[in-house]
Structure 1
Amino acid sequence: MFAQSGNASAALFIETQPPRFAGSRGAPWQIGHDWQDGVDQRTVIEQLGKQREIRVSVLHKDVPHGRFLDIEFADGRTATIVLDQGFGAWGPPRSVVVRHDFNADHATQAKRLASVNAVLQRRRVGKTYVVASPGKL
């Protein structure tokens, strides 16, 4: 979306809860797992943005479970994309290795994430969806 917009000053602000303590679940190893450390999470995501030439800021705060992408256009119009089915439907094609080394340095992790092409797909019985709405919800 950023590349298609042609706006070099576009920015992405991510508001998310900090990683939960996952000691009982073991160390993360899949690309869909979460970081155990909030600083690592923020740094890797912001470095990924730099690699893609996108100004990214990650803010840890108490946010609701719902997932929304709010877009604000230069002319003042807004749109919201609702991703409330979660990210379980988003994933790499089955032919892509999903391992991720959360212990690698931040630049290596960001480069790895940049190499993954996630697609929206139905994985089990039922439908998946994306909802787009003009304005903020």
Structure 2
Amino acid sequence: MISGGRLTRGARGSAGEIGHVSVVDDPSAVCRCGSTGCLNLYAGGGLLADTASAAARSGRSPALAARIEAHGRIDARAVAEEARAGDQYCVSLLTHAGNMIGRALASLVNITNPSLVLIVGAAFMVVDELLSPARLPRWIDAGSPAGLAEVVHS
């Protein structure tokens, strides 16, 4: 996290790590970190892949069913590719994930009022279209009376 032009790492080097912010009050949703309700469980690449695989098997997405038949498995990147190709089920999955991530980032901006939000990681690359520089600031700003931070992704 960068604030006031300075990199802020926090006491243990994980300042700004939103993947383990609790976004759902569900004690049964235990994350690998040991906490419950983590954003990764509801918007991460693993969730996207698992949900998409179930949709393929149940017939909710013919495009995903064709993918699983051709490749034997579905990953989050496949969900993004099918969303770009117009599969509405995949679009809805990514929209939900993007909204969850946007809300978590809005909270981060409200708490820290950073000058810059830098998003990195494979899961971000998957939802790149939904978390594009054109869209994400609106999601952050909509939930942030603190104002709009510059959003950069890599």
Answer yes or no: same fold by TM over 0.5.
no
Q: Which has the higher strand share?
A: 1
TM-score by length of structure 2 reads 0.24
TM-score by length of structure 1 reads 0.26
Q: Which has the higher helix share?
A: 2
